[in-house]
Amino acid sequence: MIFGRVKSLDAILATAKKKSLHRSLGAFQLTMLGVGAIIGTGIFVLTAEAAQKAGPGMMVSFIIAACVCGVAAFCYAEMAAMVPVSGSAYTYSYAVMGELIAWMVGWALILEYAVAASAVSVGWSGYVVGLLEHLTGTHFSPSLIAFTKGPFNGGIINLPAAFIALVITLLLIRGTKESATVSAVLVAIKITALSLFVALAIPAMKMENFHPFAPLGFSGISAAAASIFFAYVGFDAVSTAAEETKNPQRNMPIGLVGSLAICTIFYMLVSAGVIGGVGAQPILDANGHGLATGSHQLTAACAAIHDSKVVCSNEALAWTLRKVGWTKIGNLIALAAGFALPSVILMMIFGQTRIFFVMSRDGLLPEFFAKVHSRFQTPYVVTIMTGVFVAVFSAFFPVGILADISNAGTLFAFSMVAVAVLVLRRTDPKRHRPFKTPVIYLISPLAALGCLYLFVSLPLMTLVMFFGWAFIGLIVYFCYGYRHSNIARNIADPED
């Protein structure tokens, strides 16, 4: 039976036992690790999207998304500490719920990483194009602008977004990786930029801009929370460090809750600065309904008002500072985004290749995907395939749609982890757990239901695309993976 194809947890752990990681991380280090991993892409590029869906109520959306992330993170932490190997949610699902569920989780993670990289590429394009316009003091002609926006946004093709995706792909083929120093510098740039934004935008707030607070009701707040979830992706970096944490039962909750709390406060201050400084009311149709983000209708409405609302901006934070009188600082914010976001694209594409690798190692995908370049010793085939996929999607889709699709994959994978951790407590209660999720029979269902709540709050088109992707995945699995997996052929895992 398909659901009976469970990969032995002991076999999965055999590889991990070859390495002994030193427990050196305390609560403060874990918290800072989480802050560095979380703060970044989402807050730079999705603020306008959230404003169009929820108006000032997007501040509540940040809290809802953080709460769902929090309970999911506890479940993730237990699994990561117990199974500290490559593959994350895919590997956990394989050990607990069987091959078919593992395949679907891995297939969803492919969607998450690749489409997320596309979303970041589009976000980078918006900031860089806006920065170039303001530095040159001229607005690009409509014929030129058409090649900096996809069809959904009134353009033809987003060439800057496709360009940065392909450049990062070439770097990965050559084996370029972020060093710890470069990563630390980029984190510092992001945090400094957002701190500067808060310091300048908050004093310019006008309280009347907060009314009405929820123009589209709680459904709008829920929809924004589903999109804003993208701003918290990266919190699992804390979870995966469980094996290297001193006293994980104490320090892991502090690191998880602490990093999420700091980032949530940060995000709320930033959103308050945007709302209070320039207003964040959505653009409505004749019936009082909010126009869909990434739609032709919203693009046309923004063109009619000459992009005079933040919901029309491709660079919301830089746009806000320019509007409240800090033009040069707004340009610096755009420059910071231009420097910091490519590193996120790199890590997303890199993460995509790791998922492909693990699935190929398990026989669920052809070995061709793991082919290594003779000179650079990198998995160039899968890297090229991923890079082209990312470039094409970033060239033709808007950032909001891409972020929502990525969120769909992420929420599905995290909900499976929440189920897996509870199932494993029942089926293998004596296994050593460096970190145990507190109040598991409350936290696990909350995590699964929270992910489901955000999932169904995503736009209908996003859900249709996700289930279409899942259907393609089932076809691929039954045509290839079902017959070629290591378990089906009774082959032991190859050595790492």
d(CA 67, CA 261): 9
- What is the structure's pLDDT at 487? 83
Average pLDDT of the chain, as a whole number:
85
As given in the structure block, the two tokens for residue 65 are 């998304």
Residue 239 domain-assigned (yes or no): yes
Residue 145 domain-assigned (yes or no): yes
- Does 169 score more than 80 pLDDT? yes
Residue 286 domain-assigned (yes or no): no
d(CA 397, CA 198): 30
Q: Which amino acid is at 230?
A: F
Helix locations, 159-242, DSSP H: 159-173, 180-201, 217-228, 236-239
- What is the structure's pLDDT at 342? 87
Residues 188-212 have pLDDT tens digits of 888 889 999 999 999 999 999 999 9
Phi first, then psi: give them for residue 365, nearest 5 degrees: -130, 155
- Does 292 score more than 70 pLDDT? yes
- CATH number of the domain residue 188 falls in: 1.20.1740.10
Longest CA–CA span in the chain (Å) reads 67
- What is the structure's pLDDT at 17? 54
Residues 222-241 have pLDDT tens digits of 999 999 999 888 776 666 56
Segments forming the whole domain that contains residue 476: 27-281+291-484
Q: Which residues lie closer than 8 Å to 263 by C-beta, 6 or more apart?
A: 34, 35, 38, 39, 66, 232
Residue 6 domain-assigned (yes or no): no
As given in the structure block, the two tokens for residue 149 are 């926006």
Residue 22 domain-assigned (yes or no): no
Residues 436-473 have pLDDT tens digits of 899 999 999 999 999 999 999 999 999 999 999 999 99
DSSP 307: T
For the chain, what is the domain count?
Answer: 1
Mean pLDDT of 411-426: 90
- Does 13 score more than 80 pLDDT? no
As given in the structure block, the two tokens for residue 45 are 């590029």
Of 119-123, 466-470, 483-487, where does mean pLDDT reach its minimum? 483-487
What pairs with residue 118 in β-bridges? none
CA angle 291, 394, 458 (to 5 degrees): 40
- pLDDT-based confidence at 154, cuts 50/70/90? confident
CB 14 within 8 A of CB 494: no
Q: How far is CA 239 from the centre of its chain?
A: 15
Most confident of 4-13, 222-231, 250-259: 222-231
Residue 491 domain-assigned (yes or no): no
d(CA 373, CA 380): 6
Calculate what percentage of the chain has a pLDDT beyond 90.
38
- Does 18 score more than 60 pLDDT? no
- Read out DSSP for 368-404? GGG---TTT-S-HHHHHHHHHHHHHHHHHS-HHHHHH
Most confident of 304-308, 377-381, 395-399: 395-399
Residue 152 domain-assigned (yes or no): yes
- What is the structure's pLDDT at 136? 81
DSSP 477: I
Mean pLDDT of 280-292: 90
Residues 301-329 have pLDDT tens digits of 988 887 789 999 888 999 999 999 999 99
Q: Which amino acid is at 365?
A: L
- Does 137 score more than 90 pLDDT? no
Residue 21 domain-assigned (yes or no): no
Of 59-68, 384-393, 481-490, where does mean pLDDT reach its minimum? 481-490
- Read out DSSP for 102-153? HHHHHHHHHHHHHHHHHHHHHHHHHHHHHHHHHHHTSPPPHHHHTTBS-GGG
As given in the structure block, the two tokens for residue 463 are 């859900």
